[in-house]
Structure 1
Amino acid sequence: MASCYFSSREASLLRKDSTHSTDSCVSGQQSGYESGGTAVTTPMSEQPPCKLCLGRSISPDTLSSSLCTIAAPPTRNICFVGAGFVGGPTAALIALHNSEIAVHVVDLNAARIAVWNSSHLPVHETGLSKVVRIARDGTRAAAADRLPAREPNLVFSTDVAAQVAMADIVFICVNTPTKRYGVGAGASADLGYFEAATVTIAKNVKPGAIVVEKSTVPCGTARMIASILEQYRPREHFEVLNNPEFLAEGTAVADLVHPDRILIGSAKTAGGMRAAVVLKAVYAAWVPAERLLGVDTFSSELAKLIANAMLAQRISSVNAVSALCEELGADVEAVSIALGADSRIGSRFLQAGIGFGGSCFEKDIRNVAYLARALRLDEVADYWMAVLQINAFQRERFARALVRRLHGSLAAKKIAIFGFAFKHGTNDTRNSVAVHVIAQLAAEIPREIAVFDPGCAVADIEAEIRAVVSDPLQRSRIRVYADWPEAVAGASAICILTAWEHFGMSKEAKSEEAPASRASLSLDQLPETLSEMDVVRLEQLHGDNLDPLHRLLPEPGCAQNCVHCTAADSMSEASPVNWEAAAAAMDESRWVFDGRNVVDAEYLESLGFKVHSIGRGYPMP
């Protein structure tokens, strides 16, 4: 039998253990009934752990059927430690769908918390601003009283100790970057932030609270958490769960609303199962039961790492094919369509480009490879490291092609870079492919590298470049622009490194296609009782900054000359590229190097451009 042990038969109760009477179970005594038959559920913090039940190992086959009958205690308070790309959006969606639960997001970075409490969120995701406003600020009643007013239940704070102390469930959502020095440097995960957060939790968490790993962590980290908790609280029992995130930046809200699965890893004990059911109940507010999967903790930790590794593997595989296509005269898009039509392969992650970036894929592959080498599985480690080698090869091959097409030198030439975020739909610049390509081009000492991204703040781009390009002369040749016309003026070539829609179509074409991409929900199609997500979808239909139901309360005000307002204005004013105007503004070379295959090459060639695409049109002589 499979080890996914949540079943449709589980509701809010754990099933009775045929060998362990609830009469002798402290937890069973705490969840009894009054004489009138009304259920009495003692708050989780007041329920002592049952030593017979909580610590007893149970096989996955019997986890859902051999447990003492305990009502899943109601969750009243949840705390997320870490207000980043995972903690903020996840907390917002849980708060949105569980209005009876107080959700706190805490972080020691006061500036980050201040932004979460403003009208300028630090994470740019479609629909997130509305979700946060509804949960953080509360709302008025919707039109015709079909959706009542709601009180705020999402709080962003720097008061870590106090909010951890109140929580029934504590999620750890801090950064786990690759180590930069010491044992495992460049390969293993740096758990410094994670360990510090765990120590803070151990010092302040209330008895009986559940601690959840949300960050992507190495296998065995749950044991580290349990060890730290035992060190600081030796006479108390805490359950540790693993609940990895499977969010794609740019579509994080959609991924949270309609997840492929919610994975919950727990100890193979009755106590672990009980904790998993408590967390399951939080997600069950909107996630179908069949998508709530329970496994053991080790399997859950490993599944997250391997999921990212396999997605990256798909990208490197199709990029390796693109190199063959360029030499043979094949079209990688046609090959991808043929491959994707095979139901055993599927079409996802088969779009060729200049490789993957971001804070997850490379880090997690290095973590898997490091784990394999530690277990003396060198062949396994080499296999996964080959995925990174192809990724580096692809972006380096792209940069070399640019230099070669421009006669082997970039001296006295200007190169425009379109796109800096590691993928479209997000403002995340961490480990972007663009910064590596820019660093390689900067080594050629061009006249200028002009960078433009419609979704990223100029300051964020400049900070990432400073961190990667250390040579002062090379860095002096790089300049960041707030709109594309200045970036392309006098340029010899344009490099498209992020697949923003601004680059793939004209303003007129974008306007014509916009209605087809809108949500189907309209004012005439409103259900009798609106859900919170109906409201979010309706407001997306009319534009991200509008409130057609007059439901939202005023946003927090900003100080005069707010830097976030200035950055937001510059991003919102970025216009789609007019390729005719771009051609007129460039020098006679007029090269477009399309690293994401987003432009119509034939159309651009009709305007006088020379186009280099990934995996297309370069047959052998």
Structure 2
Amino acid sequence: MKVTFAEPTGTVMSVFGCGYLGAVHAAAMVAVGHTVIGIEPNAQRRENLAEGRTPFFEPGFEELLGDAIATGRLRFTDDPAAAAEATIHFLCVGTPQTAGQQKADLSYLEAAFTGLLPHLKAGDVIAGKSTVPANTAGLLNERVVEHGSGARLVWNPEFLREGYAIEDTLRPERVVIGVGDDAEDRAAGERLAAAYAGLETDGPLIVTDLVTAELAKVASNAYLATKISFINAMAELCDVAGADVSDLADIMGADSRIGRKFLNAGIGFGGGCLPKDIRAFMHRAGELGAADTLFFLREVDRINLQRREAVVELATVMLGGDLSGKRVTVLGAAFKPDSDDIRDSPSLAIAAALHGAGAHVRVTDPHAIRNAREASPQLDYVDDIEKACTEAELVVLLTEWRQFRDLDPAATGELVSGRKIIDGRNVLDAAAWRAAGWEYRCLGRPRLGG
């Protein structure tokens, strides 16, 4: 989207954590007219951002970042003391899944909060945007009050979609602000709402309590994950019953109570949010004595992971029952198109599983190869689609980039040694590929060869 920069407002903000969420939020707040200080301890990331180089791929972000820096109202530092200039402070650090456990790792949040605390002053607003377990914000706000600076903490969850992060920041579908119980807490929420006045949105501003605001993000993600796993469970049923899951999804989606979004059957969800959020949600429910309430999310997670296994099994069948030494080309490494994020990527997990089964796996992706190579160096990576497909015995489409969806089946067929393809996202024109001599297989559409 084209971003028009507003006139300066005079408000100074700090953003703790300039990864995907924080960097986009910082640049977007400059576009709204504010001055922003990014606090980022990672030296390489900080230097890249300060020089206008994007440390990740997000459509439109490089231009937005460059324009924001050019205003002179965006700078980056590793010194938390710089936040003393600001009156609104955003906590945008990651809360990844704890290694070997389901709970969220809050160490980065604790470090950012502890670094900010000595530099607060009366009237300051701390706005938490990180995804956290229920009751985290209340405990942090108690510490702010006990500190005696006169600042207050509110919770302002983010709802960014990778690939649409700028639009979701500047034109959000809703803005949620969770506040504490007293008048000063409510006033802090009003100050944050006023700072968002420049956003171009018709969505609602919902002011609620701290715990509800915390739950808003994880509950939304849990529901979206449930829709995806539900339609993938239906895809399994369609495979054995002989039905078409895409037609089924269209029929279900026509019901206004259900809707068509997130009913696309395929290899399931991944990324840095949905998988770790539903696991942390289950863990926190258990800590609160309500484990049985969210037990269904275990099945959501299981179905999601099972879809990856289904692709490997299908590939094995298509290549004669043994993947050893077979040349397999995987189209896509990122967990979704328009992103270079490979965190918990189904595409990369399937590629690694194919390699583990003995196949020689060649992977191509428009933007995620560098990240994928660091995570799975055992695979072969190629930038060029044609080179990636050359002499392949099986092609597996796993991330629905436009470049892959638009491949010409006849021309691609001239490159490979075996015209076999698995459409892991159900996005290709099955009739066109089969007419070009391909054995086309997909998930949940057995009448198309799946």
Q: State the one-letter code of the partner of 2:43.
A: A
**Counterpart check, 1:585 vs 2:415:** yes
Equivalent residue runs for 1:463-502 within 5 Å? 463-466=374-377, 475=378, 478-502=379-403
Which deviations, in whole Å up to 9, do the C-alpha atoms of 1:97-153 show, x marking residues without a partner? Answer: 12xx21111201111122223343123222223322222213xxxxxxxxxxxxx32
Rounded to whole Å, the distance in 2 between the matches of 1:314 and 1:320 is 10
Rounded to whole Å, the distance in 1 between the matches of 2:149 and 2:73 is 29
* Structure 1 residue aligned with 2:4: none
**Counterpart check, 1:616 vs 2:445:** yes
* Structure 2 residue aligned with 1:452: 364
Contact 1:416–1:493 under 8 Å retained in 2: yes
* Structure 2 residue aligned with 1:167: 86
Aligned to 1:504, which of 381, 405, 424?
405
**Counterpart check, 1:94 vs 2:29:** yes
Tell me the CA shift for residue 379 of structure 1. 2.0
Tell me the CA shift for residue 290 of structure 1. 5.6
Instruction: Among all aligned residue pairs of Structure 1 and Structure 2, give the percentage whose two residues are the same amino acid.
Output: 32
Aligned to 1:153, which of 57, 73, 89?
73
**Counterpart check, 1:82 vs 2:1:** no
Contact 2:90–2:129 under 8 Å retained in 1: yes
| SS of structure 2 residue aligned to 1:373 | helix
Q: State the one-letter code of the partner of 1:213.
A: G
Contact 2:81–2:116 under 8 Å retained in 1: no
Which deviations, in whole Å up to 9, do the C-alpha atoms of 1:567-621 show, x marking residues without a partner? Answer: xxxxxxxxxx443232122123x2111111121111111111111112112599x
* Structure 2 residue aligned with 1:211: 126
Gaps of 5+ in 1: 1-73, 139-151, 467-474, 506-576
Aligned to 2:249, which of 312, 329, 336?
336
Rounded to whole Å, the distance in 1 between the matches of 2:53 and 2:74 is 16
* Structure 1 residue aligned with 2:428: 599
* Structure 2 residue aligned with 1:408: 321
Which structure would you say has the larger RCO, counting Cα contacts within 8 Å and 6 or more residues apart? 1
Task: Evaluate the alpha carbon distance shift between residue 503 and residue 106 of structure 1 in structure 2; reply closer, same or farther with a 3 A threshold.
Answer: same
Equivalent residue runs for 1:192-271 within 5 Å? 192-229=107-144, 233=147, 235-271=148-184
* Structure 2 residue aligned with 1:425: 338
Tell me the CA shift for residue 343 of structure 1. 0.8
Equivalent residue runs for 1:366-445 within 5 Å? 366-445=279-358
Contact 1:330–1:619 under 8 Å retained in 2: no
Rounded to whole Å, the distance in 1 between the matches of 2:172 and 2:142 is 32
4+ residue runs of structure 1 moved beyond 6 angstroms?
Answer: none
Contact 1:75–1:168 under 8 Å retained in 2: no
Q: State the one-letter code of the partner of 1:465.
A: S
Task: Evaluate the alpha carbon distance shift between residue 579 and residue 115 of structure 1 in structure 2; reply closer, same or farther with a 3 A threshold.
Answer: farther
Rounded to whole Å, the distance in 1 between the matches of 2:52 and 2:327 is 37
| SS of structure 1 residue aligned to 2:444 | coil
Which deviations, in whole Å up to 9, do the C-alpha atoms of 1:13-34 show, x marking residues without a partner? Answer: xxxxxxxxxxxxxxxxxxxxxx
Rounded to whole Å, the distance in 2 between the matches of 1:153 and 1:214 is 21
Tell me the CA shift for residue 365 of structure 1. 0.4
Q: State the one-letter code of the partner of 1:241.
A: V
Tell me the CA shift for residue 287 of structure 1. 4.1
Contact 1:75–1:278 under 8 Å retained in 2: no
Rounded to whole Å, the distance in 1 between the matches of 2:124 and 2:106 is 22
Tell me the CA shift for residue 255 of structure 1. 1.5
* Structure 2 residue aligned with 1:108: 41
Contact 1:179–1:187 under 8 Å retained in 2: yes
Contact 2:422–2:442 under 8 Å retained in 1: yes
Rounded to whole Å, the distance in 2 between the matches of 1:299 and 1:427 is 31
| SS of structure 1 residue aligned to 2:20 | coil
Task: Evaluate the alpha carbon distance shift between residue 289 and residue 450 of structure 1 in structure 2; reply closer, same or farther with a 3 A threshold.
Answer: closer
Q: State the one-letter code of the partner of 1:107.
A: E
Larger Rg: 1
| SS of structure 2 residue aligned to 1:450 | strand
Q: State the one-letter code of the partner of 2:327.
A: K
Task: Evaluate the alpha carbon distance shift between residue 75 and residue 191 of structure 1 in structure 2; reply closer, same or farther with a 3 A threshold.
Answer: farther
Rounded to whole Å, the distance in 2 between the matches of 1:120 and 1:195 is 28
Which deviations, in whole Å up to 9, do the C-alpha atoms of 1:521-570 show, x marking residues without a partner? Answer: xxxxxxxxxxxxxxxxxxxxxxxxxxxxxxxxxxxxxxxxxxxxxxxxxx
* Structure 1 residue aligned with 2:102: 187
| SS of structure 1 residue aligned to 2:249 | helix
| SS of structure 2 residue aligned to 1:86 | helix
Which range moved further: 353-362 or 120-129? 120-129
Contact 1:241–1:276 under 8 Å retained in 2: yes
Gaps of 5+ in 2: 1-8
Rounded to whole Å, the distance in 1 between the matches of 2:409 and 2:431 is 12
Tell me the CA shift for residue 372 of structure 1. 1.7
How many residue pairs get aligned? The number is 441
Task: Evaluate the alpha carbon distance shift between residue 405 and residue 289 of structure 1 in structure 2; reply closer, same or farther with a 3 A threshold.
Answer: closer
Tell me the CA shift for residue 342 of structure 1. 0.5
| SS of structure 1 residue aligned to 2:380 | strand
Contact 2:397–2:422 under 8 Å retained in 1: yes
* Structure 2 residue aligned with 1:137: 70
Task: Evaluate the alpha carbon distance shift between residue 75 and residue 215 of structure 1 in structure 2; reply closer, same or farther with a 3 A threshold.
Answer: farther
Rounded to whole Å, the distance in 1 between the matches of 2:67 and 2:417 is 50
* Structure 2 residue aligned with 1:539: none
Rounded to whole Å, the distance in 1 between the matches of 2:53 and 2:238 is 44
Q: State the one-letter code of the partner of 1:89.
A: V
| SS of structure 2 residue aligned to 1:427 | coil
Task: Evaluate the alpha carbon distance shift between residue 406 and residue 375 of structure 1 in structure 2; reply closer, same or farther with a 3 A threshold.
Answer: same
Rounded to whole Å, the distance in 2 between the matches of 1:367 and 1:129 is 32
Which deviations, in whole Å up to 9, do the C-alpha atoms of 1:410-438 show, x marking residues without a partner? Answer: 11211101001110011111111112112
* Structure 2 residue aligned with 1:469: none
Rounded to whole Å, the distance in 1 between the matches of 2:31 and 2:373 is 35
* Structure 1 residue aligned with 2:54: 121
Tell me the CA shift for residue 490 of structure 1. 1.4
Contact 1:199–1:229 under 8 Å retained in 2: no
TM-score, scaled to structure 2: 0.94
Contact 1:167–1:206 under 8 Å retained in 2: no
Rounded to whole Å, the distance in 2 between the matches of 1:498 and 1:186 is 28
Which deviations, in whole Å up to 9, do the C-alpha atoms of 1:64-95 show, x marking residues without a partner? Answer: xxxxxxxxxx8621000111111111121121
| SS of structure 1 residue aligned to 2:54 | coil
* Structure 2 residue aligned with 1:148: none
Which deviations, in whole Å up to 9, do the C-alpha atoms of 1:418-459 show, x marking residues without a partner? Answer: 00111001111111111211222122112x100000122x33
